[in-house]
Structure 1
Amino acid sequence: MLFASGCLFDFDSSKDYTVTEMKTFQSEEELASYLKTLRESFEYELNSNYYNLYYGVNADWADENSISARSLNFENGRLPQRINSTDIQLKNSNEADIVRISGNVIYYTPDNVYLSNERPFTKYHAEKEMIYDLNLNTYEIDIEMPQSASVFSEIAPSGDIFIDGNILVATDSVSVMAYDIKNPAEPKLMWEKNVEGNYSFSSLYDGKFYTVVRQKTYDYPLVYMNTTVPFSDVYYSEVSNDFYTHLETVYYISQLNLSTGDLEECIAVIGQDSSYNRKGSFIYSAEDDVYLVNSYFPREDRYAEFLVSHGSDYFPKSFIKEIKQILKTPDFTEYAKEDAVSNKIENYTADMTDRERQSFMEEIDKGYNQYLIDEGKGAEQSVVIQIHLPDLSVDSGVIPGSLVDGRSMDKKDGYLRVATTAGNENRYMPANRNNGVYIFNSKMDLVGSLNYLLLDDYVTSACFIEDSLHLIRPNESSPRLVIDLSNPNNPELAGDLFIFGYSVYLQPIKDNIVLGINQTKKGQLQLTLFNISNKTVPKELDSYVSGDILTSWTYHTFSGYMFDEKRNILLVPSSSGVSIFEIKNNTFNLLKEDTHRNGTVIRAVFVDNMLYTFSEKEVHVIETESWNTLKVISIPQPNAVYYERDYAVGYV
């Protein structure tokens, strides 16, 4: 069923079940009281059956040194995290990347640090395990003579890299370091800062360095880098009890002096962390703005309330009586109640066939969603927070639903476009879902929207292509839904786009030409060029099937696909390196299979008539006239060492 509405989402401010836009505190006392309330709520949950059931922890022994405490995000973290990587086209210098160029030197930090024996945890004991040496660095590669290019020096730490003139800034999960690289052979450390939390994002803008760092804290006052954030610079959203509210994370957005590292400005945003829900929070940057999205989901104990009041339509009286008893249990939190109710339903449906069970649950879900509508509870809602650089001013807007996926936000011509999906994904799908797109201006005023799209249908991905939004469904035989965004104030439904099999990914190449990426039934990589000048009637131009079997990296990580419009060169990562194509007359011409000994190429860059391809262990120098490999540069690797440390081995 297809239905679309152009109306803006209407919140009734007279009701207390909505999520508000961001606001600041009116006094230090109000901020202190707010943080105290959050702490008391979290301590109650930590001692609850929910944590004992799932994690085997309680507040008495979850100290800051235990692995369980770390898994609950108490520690700042010591493993480098490649959070803010861009694609393999070197973009604006204000964006972080793992490859940067200054003069005749390439700075490269490989992405190859991970724990080898991570396991779920419910028990707690010590055992030896292998872990890679964490002291990786950023490597300096001399490319003045490409045929003899080599690593000649290194600096710490490994991580995302920025270069501004003669200053290089490198970030990892725990620190920021700035180096004077006027003499690359002898880089000089200018300053070093501990990020005092979990690094989430950074940006270089107008000679200033900006970071977004998240902390688990309820301590008053809020102090970052020895600076107290005043109450008037602390932002929060009021969220009613109808939603899950894991407001245990403070996001510090800071401005650092690039030459000295001194903290010049700082604000704080109280919000959610993604550890409780994969869509709990999201960070996106575009132009001179950083966006933080917090999504809130309806509490599942409302589901239990629904079963009490309407469950007789589906269950016997004895079942409803047991649900009532669960809700009355005083030491059960909402999470423990949710789990207990779910177990009851699972046991009740155990003797049903899969088809019977799905039909039964979908019928209940339809009734529950109608109950939420009748009671004014609604589905999930999201706060989109805009932090403007350089002054760190804040605007925000509230929209229904949560982001479809990591490509659900896009900014064009000053307008932020956001694709959302609404409908409880913790129960059976696709029943009772609602999808939409919302458009904000530079002041975060909602100027256009189109919602109630694909009712009762599940959307797996969103893709913005110029003035269009594609909503993609999991069934390969289902068409994409295309929305025309050429008028930000009045988005319109363009229609269905039938590109069979291409539910995976579409990458814009140039005007009206897109690259479709999918896998064949044999698991092979399949590439197709389309002309989409007609938004709903694509024309297939050419297709190429590789003998390569798609790996999880190449299938799900699309940041490795690169198109150089000047040269008409397309680079496609493969399990063994990268495939290099020339796109000429809208056809594929395979120029080279660049094979790396450890596998997939994660970055590439053109410098003059040379192409440099980067994997975790190698850098290849390729001459672009003959496409011969002139040099293979080995990247130093971490040593495998053994540590005896506490870690969890368990069962679920």
Structure 2
Amino acid sequence: MSLMKSERSDIYLFAIFALLISAVLMISAIALISNMRPQNVILSSPFDPGHTSELPRFSSDRDMIKAFMNASAGIYECEDSAWNSWLPLSPILSAGDASKGSEAIGRQSGDFSTTNVQVEGVDEADIIKTDGKYVYIIAKDKIIIALAYPGRNAEILSSTNIAGFRPSEMFIDDDRLLVFGSSSVNIPEPLDVKAEKIVAGCPYCWHIPAVTSVKLYDISDRKDPQILRTFEIEGSYLTSRKIGNDVYFVVNTYPRIWPLYEGVEADNIIPLCREGSESFKPVADATDICYIPPVEAASFITLASVSMTDEDKDITKETIAGSGQNVYASENNLYITQSDCYGYYRYSPDGKTGEETTVAKFSLDGGKIKFIGSGRVKGHILNQFSMDEYNGYFRIATTIGEVWNSKTPSTNNVYVLDGNMNVVGELEDLAPGEKIYSARFMGKRCYMVTFKKVDPLFVIDLSDPKDPDVLGKLKIPGYSDYLHPYDENHIIGIGKDTVDAGESETSGRGLDFAWYQGVKMAIFDVSDVEHPKEMYKVVIGDRGTDSPVLTDHKAFLFDREKNLLVLPITVAEIQGERTSLNQYGDYVFQGAYVYDVSIKNGFTLRGKVTHYDDDEVFKKSGYYFYGDRSISRSLYIKDVLYTMSSSILQLNDLDTLKEIKQLKLD
């Protein structure tokens, strides 16, 4: 569960040693990549944002194999018997949506809370859901259904555990439950390499494939859920969205073998899928698979849809060559981004990084999926909130370059693309030397937080898509990792407080920076767009304090009408006098802070909820704390607050926070 305090000195030494080794390995890797960089990585001309109105398709099986071999050559270099490799970056797990300015700003349907999503009308899967009477939970590989309201009658109704299936998140729709997870499925080895000729110098590279499993349940009897449908596809689940009764999901697939062998066929690398107990078969023919030129990632993205109300409706699938990293969906369109995996090492003749992000756009209509076009912009994006759709335009915020690299210093940009994915407006070179920590598009504005030493909150005008402009900015200590609309003129920011490292630190390290401290919540007034201001702020704990909200917006519970804000948090506090600015506190609490929040009074702590019986567990912890009673989610039904950890669902009175009941999830 935790590290003992007596181990701290050993951990410090080990950590320092590990950092030194990591630094040496990274420097060696960079040097290696510099030597093996293929010639076509150099950009022959300045970057020119563009679009493709129609994705090309592979003309034949051999055309696909050749494209994948060329893509692999950009990552792998086979020379004599040596095989030097640098694996592409792992996909960035995130998701999101926003359309027609319909940002979710804390309105709840009925007298119960729903998952905190980016856009109204576009649901996002999560580990806990409620319909106002029942609560549905995924915990410790089990799907749990509980009668939740009235609180005094709360009880576990069913707990489903399927061998070989690990559920990750879900949707609900009346008497239907759709669960995403991974399956332990034996997919046959795709190629008998003993009978094939391996390209000289390259070893046989086959891996046990990841398999995404989608299970649709009939839960009309909550005590006895029944599986109606199972769909499995080779690859790793990235994210999903629910619009109406249809669920759209994205899967990344890396071929079971790298196509560096004579005799490899397209069917050996195309993702496999099956429904029910059928045999696995390729998700599509090679000639039905599109690609975003140039093919730089030897992998596949599959966008599919499944109906939650009609188990006989065909599952629609669209597969393209590429790697999905971030996803954004409005009620009508879905966008998948692919940032240049090798952007760090890709330079134009003037020495600047050629890092770019390609965005593929698909229309969504009652489960039907159609490719619309693709666009390309400079830099990479942070997460789903860096994207938005409004009045037919797509907006995206990016960072290019590296904060601490003087040769390729970071800058930040906002681009506007039209319905055909042409870049029609751009705002570049914002906050040089900083990077984006959070962004939120709200109608005709974009609010963006960058950071290196202080937190500039930019207010950006997008009323003219062809001429975006900075209206104003606010510089304050700290930064926000997550921005949430309170109303049209006020924003809640959740992040970290910071303190200037001081002249002795910055001069000694040759860097200009700040030390992050405790978790900070703030309310920003942006009614005067040229002079935004921080109205209220609360700092919780000292350095070491953390909240899942900083990396997962679904952990955030806010209801403006109830003046309610619930923040799951792990609190660290310095005992006694602070000895240095980068000193960590000792863990003293894990649970949820419950606030009354209003524009009139700011943040008022209503109380705290925890699943731990005493604080002994915190006293025994060291530099890392984790426990299966750590609260990660919260929701409410009428007058009851529900908090969830992986072991407990706890019910408290929403007003007094007096405990009503605990349900064990073990």
Q: 1:381 aligns with which of 353, 356, 362?
A: 356
- Return the offset for 1:513: 1.9
Aligned to 1:542: 536
- 1:448 corresponds, among 422, 425, 444, to 425
Q: Secondary structure, in 3 states, of the residue corresponding to 1:39? A: helix
Q: Quick check: 1:526–1:543 contact (8 Å CA) kept in 2?
A: yes
Contact 1:137–1:158 (CA under 8 A) maintained in structure 2: yes
Partner of 1:137: 142
Structure 2 length-normalised TM: 0.66
Which deviations, in whole Å up to 9, do the C-alpha atoms of 1:482-507 show, x marking residues without a partner?
Answer: 32123333311213322333355443
SS at match of 2:266: coil
Instruction: Name the count of aligned residue pairs.
Output: 497
What amino acid is aligned across from residue 142 of structure 1 in structure 2?
L
* Aligned mates of 1:93, 1:472 — CA distance in 2: 25
Matching of residues 192-203 of structure 1 within 5 Å? 192-203=230-241
C-alpha deviation, 1:409, in angstroms? 1.2
> Per the alignment, do residues 471 and 260 of structure 1 end up closer, same or farther by CA in structure 2, a change over 3 Å counting?
closer
Change (3 A) 1:462 1:16: closer
Amino acid at match of 1:291: Y
Alpha-carbon separation, structure 2, partners of 1:82 and 1:399: 20
RMSD: 3.8
Greater relative contact order, per chain length (Cα 8 Å cut-off, separation 6+) = 1
Query: Is 2:542 the partner of 1:487?
Result: no
1:622 aligns with 2:652: yes
* 1:579 to partner: Cα distance: 0.5
Query: 1:95 and 2:104 equivalent?
Result: no
Residues 19 and 261 from structure 1, CA distance in 2 versus in 1: closer, same or farther, beyond 3 angstroms? farther
**1 CA distance for matches of 2:58 and 2:426?**
36
Is 2:387 the counterpart of 1:409? yes
Instruction: Name 2:22's counterpart in structure 1.
Output: none
1:248 has 2:291 as partner: no
Matched, 1:428 2:433: no
Q: How far apart, CA to CA, are the structure 2 residues paired with 1:573 and 1:476?
A: 26
> Map of 1:551-562 to 2, 5 A cutoff?
551-554=545-548, 556-559=550-553, 560-562=555-557
Q: Could you tell me which of 572, 589, 597 is aligned with 1:583?
A: 597
Aligned ranges 1:113-152 → 2 under 5 Å: 136-152=141-157
Instruction: Return the offset for 1:35.
Output: 2.6
Cα distance, 1:72 vs. partner?
8.7
Q: 2:558 maps to which residue?
A: 563
The whole-number CA distance in structure 1 between the counterparts of 2:472 and 2:403 is 30
Check the 8 A contact 2:114/2:635 in 1, yes or no: yes
Say whether 1:592 aligns with 2:630.
Answer: no
In 2, are the aligned partners of 1:158 and 1:172 still within 8 Å (CA)?
yes
Separation of aligned partners in 2, 1:19 and 1:185: 54
Question: Could you tell me which residue of structure 2 aligns to residue 166 of structure 1?
Answer: 175
Cα deviation for residue 38 of structure 1 reads 1.3
Matched, 1:461 2:490: no
Partner of residue 272 from structure 1, selected from 299, 306, 323: 323
Unpaired segments of 5 or more residues in structure 2? 1-42, 98-103, 105-112, 183-211, 260-264, 275-280, 500-515, 571-589, 613-626
Once residues 94 and 51 of structure 1 are traced to their aligned partners in structure 2, the CA distance between those partners, rounded to angstroms, is 49
Deviation track 1:284-322 (CA, whole Å, cap 9, x = no partner) reads 22323221111226677776xxxxxxxxxxxxxxxxxxx
Rounded to whole Å, the distance in 1 between the matches of 2:539 and 2:346 is 50
1:536–1:476 Cα change, 3 Å: farther
Paired position in structure 2 for 1:526: 520
Aligned partners of 1:430 and 1:457 also within 8 Å: no
- SS of the equivalent of 1:38 reads helix
Partner secondary structure for residue 435 of structure 2: coil
Amino acid at match of 1:489: K
Residues 127-178 of structure 1, C-alpha deviations (whole Å, 9 max, x = no match) = xxxxxxxxx1111111243124122212245221112232111111331111
Cα 1:506–1:266 change in 2 (3 A) is closer
Is residue 601–residue 613 contact of structure 1 (8 Å, CA) maintained in 2? yes
Work out the CA distance in 2 between the residues paired with 1:603 and 1:512: 27
- Cα drift, residue 413 of structure 1: 4.2
* Deviation per residue, 1:233-285 (Å, 9 max, x gap): 4221222xxxxx64211111123354336644221111136xxxxxxx32222
Provide the C-alpha distance between the structure 2 equivalents of 1:230 and 1:497, rounded to a whole number of angstroms: 53
Query: Is the 8 Å Cα contact of residues 369 and 432 (structure 1) preserved in structure 2?
Result: no
Aligned to 2:311: 260
Q: 1:233 to 1:106 in 2, by over 3 A?
A: same
Pairing partner for 1:207 from 231, 238, 245: 245
Residue 209 (structure 1) shift: 3.4
Q: Of 328, 335, 342, which aligns to 1:284?
A: 328
TM-score (ref. length: structure 1): 0.67
| CA–CA distance in structure 2, aligned partners of residues 503 and 185 of structure 1 | 43
1:231 Cα deviation from its structure 2 partner: 5.5
Q: Against the structure 1 CA distance between its residues 207 and 460, is the aligned structure 2 distance closer, same or farther, given a 3 Å change threshold? A: closer
Task: Give 1:379 deviation, angstroms.
Answer: 2.0
Alignment check: 8 A CA contact 1:519 1:525 kept: yes
Q: CA deviation at 1:419?
A: 0.5
Following the alignment from structure 2 to structure 1, what is the Cα–Cα distance between the partners of residues 122 and 326? 22
Aligned partner of residue 641 in structure 2, secondary structure: strand
The verdict on how the C-alpha distance between 1:298 and 1:626 changes in structure 2, with shifts beyond 3 A counting, is closer
Q: In structure 2, give the amino acid aligned to 1:417.
A: R
8 Å CA contact 1:388–1:394 kept in 2: the answer is: yes
Where does residue 109 of structure 1 map in the other structure?
138
Residues in 2 aligned to 1:267 and 1:552: alpha-carbon distance in whole angstroms: 39
CA 1:570–1:46: 2 relative to 1, 3 Å: same
CA distance in 1: counterparts of 2:345 and 2:540, whole angstroms:
50
Deviates more, 1:161-170 or 1:263-272: 263-272
Cα distance, 1:529 vs structure 2: 2.4
Of 39, 50, 63, which aligns to 2:69?
A: 39
Cα gap change, 1:183 to 1:229, in 2 (>3 Å): same
Contact 2:132/2:637, CA 8 A, preserved across alignment: no
Change (3 A) 1:51 1:141: farther
Could you tell me how far apart the structure 2 residues matched to 1:15 and 1:588 are? Answer: 49
Cα–Cα, structure 1 residues 166 and 427, in superposed 2: closer, same or farther, change >3 Å?
same
The range that moved more, 501-510 or 175-184, is 501-510
Deviations 1:207-246 (A, max 9, x none): 333322221236525454436525664221222xxxxx64
SS in 1 for 2:651: strand
Are the structure 2 counterparts of residues 458 and 396 from structure 1 closer, same or farther at C-alpha, using a change threshold of 3 Å? farther
| Native 8 Å contact 2:75 2:85 kept in 1 | no
- 1:574 alignment partner in structure 2: 569
Partner of 1:418 in structure 2? 396
Shift of 1:14: 10
Distance between the aligned counterparts of 1:203 and 1:625, measured in 2? 33
